[in-house]
Amino acid sequence: MIARIHRSETADAELSAREVLQLELGHSITDAEWQRIRTKLIEFATILRTWDQTANSSSIDLGNV
């Protein structure tokens, strides 16, 4: 059940992101365009998550927590 809820929340978030992007662009985007954009957004989020984890572990190592 939790996995189903998570998938639903993920799908809702993706739909919302696509809608906002289309509004900002002023036109609809194709499914192929969305897949490319989605891939880039996931790559960017991964970079940010890695950066944040590195920054947090550096703070812990320095005793700045």
Tens digits of pLDDT across the chain (65 residues): 556 666 788 889 999 999 999 999 999 999 999 999 999 999 999 999 998 888 777 666 566 55
Question: Residue 10: CA atoms inside 13 Å, Cβ hemisphere, count?
Answer: 8
What does pTM read for this prediction? 0.65
Report DSSP letters for 14-61, one per residue: HHHHHHHHHHHHTS---HHHHHHHHHHHHHHHHHHHHHHHHHHHHHHH
**Distance separating alpha carbons of residues 61 and 55, to the nearest angstrom:** 10
Domains in the chain, number: 1
Return the pLDDT at 59: 60
**Distance separating alpha carbons of residues 34 and 58, to the nearest angstrom:** 36
Return the pLDDT at 58: 66
Return the pLDDT at 9: 86
Domain encompassing residue 9: 2-62
